[in-house]
Amino acid sequence: MTALSFQSFPRFVLPFLFLVVSCSTPLVLESKSAAVPPGVDLSGMWQLRGESDTRRPTNNFGFLEGIIPGGNKERTRRARKRGGATVPVFLEYGTSLKITQTQYGIFISYDRSVVEDFTFGENRMVEIGPLEALRVSGWEGGSFVIETLDDSGTTLFESWQLDGPVLVRKIRIAKGEKDSFVQTQEFDRQ
């Protein structure tokens, strides 16, 4: 029996194997700390400042169009194959917030209609209808951070932190190192 050498492989095999291995590498996010920093409490009723940025991401960089949770799964599947990002579906907005922080997690109510809950240190799959994404949340310094990664490699970054009496929310959507959407919002305590 003879040993195989790289010269015995046809020229297309090695690039093909490299492509298969690189495409099958699962996308991952780095877990965040579950420990609440001493003295940091985001709890309270918050009102968006009038001059804060209220733009919402549009579908001008490949977002799925017409996706409604529980909607047409075949249309969703076709749109995903085209490389569309789904993370904007996981982004909530509101002008009036109620934040409740516990020892283990945080609840954010947007305009008294949508409540999002996050567990400190979580690392799990989240779903909205037929859409799935990997989510991590927890603390980095004095900021509460949420990262959501979809199967197209697009990431939604959110951070919440106190700057004196002001609650600052930073939002960024990026694919790889390229930012597609960046926004900062400021909230005053009610």
Write down the pLDDT at residue 2: 53
Contact call for residues 118 and 32 (beta carbons, < 8 A) = no
Residues 6+ apart with CB under 8 A from 72: none
pTM, full prediction:
0.75
Write down the pLDDT at residue 8: 52
* Cβ atoms within 10 Å, residue 185: 20
User: What one-letter code names the amino acid at 89?
Assistant: V
**H or E segment and range at residue 80:** helix 73-81
Hey, what are 52's tokens? 């804060």
User: What one-letter code names the amino acid at 63?
Assistant: F
Length of the chain: 190
CA distance 88 to 132: 12
Write down the pLDDT at residue 10: 57
**What DSSP state is assigned to residue 89?**
G
Query: What is the average pLDDT score of the chain?
Result: 81
CATH number for the region 27-189 comes to 2.40.128.20
Write down the pLDDT at residue 187: 97
Q: What is the mean pLDDT of residues 165-186?
A: 93
Contact call for residues 134 and 149 (beta carbons, < 8 A) = yes
CA distance 167 to 17: 49
* Cβ atoms within 10 Å, residue 87: 26
134 pLDDT band, cuts 50/70/90, is: very high
Residue appearing with tokens 């929310």: 169
**pLDDT tens per residue across span 6-47:** 455 455 544 444 444 445 445 689 999 999 999 999 999 999
Q: Residue 142: exposed, middle, or buried by beta-carbon count in 10 A (0-12, 13-18, 19+)?
A: middle
